[in-house]
Structure 1
Amino acid sequence: MSASVRGRHSLRRLKLPPNPKVRVGIAIFVFFALLALLGPFVVQNVMGLSPSDVDTTRAMELPSAEHLLGTTATGEDVFAQLVVGSRISLLVGLVAGVITTTLSVLVGVAGGYLGGRADSFLTAATNVCLVIPGMPLLIIVASYVQGRGGWLTVALVIGLTAWPWGARQKRAQTLSLRHRDFVSAAEMTGESRWGVITRELIPSLAPIISVSFLGAVVGSMFADAGLSFMGLGNINITSWGSMLYWAQNAGALTRGAWWWFVPPGACIALIGVAAGLINFGIDEISNPRLRKPSKEVRARARAARLHAAAGGPAAKAAAGKPAPVQEAAS
């Protein structure tokens, strides 16, 4: 068999079955990514709307053809704020997620593989950070840097305070892999420690890293919305969190202005649902026991059961049921 044919057969074996949960989750993420990339341009240049235009004569209007999601207490268009604010919220989530995942991978994998004093030092640093409550620490740091930067400062604060749990998880997974045969083989061939970490361990932990990255992105978006809702973020920048802050300050809930606070909350919830679907799909792909049998396999099992029910002892034995023992004639 030629090398090209062997390569095609290997690709077929590596090809994973399509997972509808992953497809739906990726579709939701792609929708919001396109909304953040193209939405502000369309809203401001094509539709002629601005998230900061004030018109007190049209305050608290219901959704209509002119204002798709109604207006705020000062007459600002809620739809324009929702679309423009999606870019800031997604940027904060992505940047903070990258920082959190990078730190957790470096600290967890390096400590789990190196062992010795390096592991003791990194584990002690992780445990100290775990002892400190995350949300109060985030509130203190955010209040200290409040007004000293834009969305990037908020993303840095969130990313630098949310990595310890991920590092603890990845260290435990690395400890289970450090004595595997493929790691020992790489060490025997003269691979450096950094090479073993980057070429052997991190690729083996790819499913766990991807799941933790998605969780970090969604958690960072929740944290950003929570900080903005409490007035600790930069509320002068249009984001989903600042929309919730101004809606709460204006009493939108008591005034029945659902169109002001429901859309940003629903968008954050949808992104959380997308991350959950992708996580479940990755679990099913990486763990064959969680996969649902295909239609062909289910059809074969159904046909075998019908054949066993209609046949005699031989068919039942073929279906996995023992045939009854007949007594020998005396």
Structure 2
Amino acid sequence: MNLKTKLGLGVLAFFALVAVAGEWVAPYDPSAMSDDLLSPPSGAHWFGTTMTGQDVFSQVLVGTRGVMVVGLVCGVLATLLSILVGVTAGFLGGAADEALSMLSNVFLVIPALPLIIIVASMLPSADTVLIAAVISLTAWAWGARVLRAQTMSLRRRDFVEAARASGESVWRIIVFEVLPNLTAVIASGFVGTVIFAVMLQITLSFVGVVSLSTWNWGTILFWAQSNQALGLGAWWWFVPAGLCIALLGTALALINFGIDEYANPRLRKVRA
């Protein structure tokens, strides 16, 4: 494991820990108002307070869970769909490949943002998991295309032909012969999907499409922008959430770069 991957995994583990324990360690109720209006960072309020006296540090801690849940759920669902469709299409070929490729192409051109806006408007009480599920429906197709191409390059390899000659079933060959050789591609696709899901969820929260009663980093930015925090000089209202977004995105990108170096011998030689 290279340094990039270790650093990225370390930052990701930190945010995962905050997502689990954030509500327990938050010093205040993130929605509770107080008389400390627009107070800068201090011992009582580490990240300052909002225009209504809400503690920004508590909002960031509690809001981490929503971001991480959406990223993880969307990453898992989209990756499973891409494996199911892409690997099956690439290995079976023929009519199955044509049908599954057509399905991938249809979902590939569906715009994610307008679809989420429509779903959120139809279901005002849509929770975090439902939003993640809808995002995953628009995020799996690209990964499926990549896995299909990689599977087509593997299905005629000697070890696959040897498994066929020994009488192995199609699904056993896919699971035990093909998928292990696609691990790096699948992992890279998973990380990329998580980045896409996190950024899209924060965007939806920032523009006020999803429920604003559930805290996440995008919700914090929405209220800061709506109350003109920048104009008021209340930098502490939006900078912490922005830094968390940047750190999480950087961590996921570092993991992705590390996976690329592991999977691509040319990159390992250049780094050496």
- TM norm structure 1: 0.79
Identity of aligned residues (%): 50
**Bigger Rg over Cα:** 1
1:54: which partner in 2? 33
2:241: which partner in 1? 264
Distance 2:231 2:136 in 1: 35
The answer on 1:285 being equivalent to 2:262 is yes
**Any residues of structure 2 matched to 1:54-93 within 5 Å, and which?**
54-55=33-34, 57-93=35-71
Distance 2:70 2:110 in 1: 23
- Report the Cα offset of residue 293 of structure 1: 8.0
1:180: which partner in 2? 157
Specify the code of the residue in structure 2 equivalent to 1:167: A
SS for the counterpart of 1:176 is helix
Stretches of structure 2 that go unaligned for 5 or more consecutive residues are none
Tell me: higher relative CO, structure 1 or 2? Use CA pairs within 8 A at least 6 residues apart: 2
- Report the Cα offset of residue 115 of structure 1: 0.9
1:106: which partner in 2? 84
- Report the Cα offset of residue 263 of structure 1: 1.3
Q: Any conservation in 1 of the 2:261–2:268 contact (CA below 8 Å)?
A: yes
Moved segments of 4+, more than 4 Å: none
- Report the Cα offset of residue 141 of structure 1: 2.9
- Report the Cα offset of residue 53 of structure 1: 1.0
Distance 1:134 1:88 in 2: 19
1:243 aligns with one of 201, 212, 220: 220
- Report the Cα offset of residue 291 of structure 1: 2.0
**Any residues of structure 2 matched to 1:29-44 within 5 Å, and which?**
29-43=12-26
Specify the code of the residue in structure 2 equivalent to 1:276: A
Deviation per residue, 1:105-158 (Å, 9 max, x gap): 11111111111111111111111222333333333333333x233111111111
Q: Any conservation in 1 of the 2:9–2:251 contact (CA below 8 Å)?
A: yes
Q: Any conservation in 1 of the 2:110–2:138 contact (CA below 8 Å)?
A: no
Distance 2:119 2:177 in 1: 37
1:195: which partner in 2? 172
The answer on 1:26 being equivalent to 2:9 is yes
SS for the counterpart of 1:68 is coil
Which shifted more, 67-76 or 274-283?
Answer: 274-283
Describe the shift of the 1:215–1:293 C-alpha distance in structure 2 as closer, same or farther (beyond 3 A): closer
| Superposition RMSD in Å | 1.7
Q: Any conservation in 2 of the 1:142–1:157 contact (CA below 8 Å)?
A: no
1:154 aligns with one of 99, 123, 131: 131
**Any residues of structure 2 matched to 1:298-309 within 5 Å, and which?**
none
Describe the shift of the 1:256–1:292 C-alpha distance in structure 2 as closer, same or farther (beyond 3 A): farther
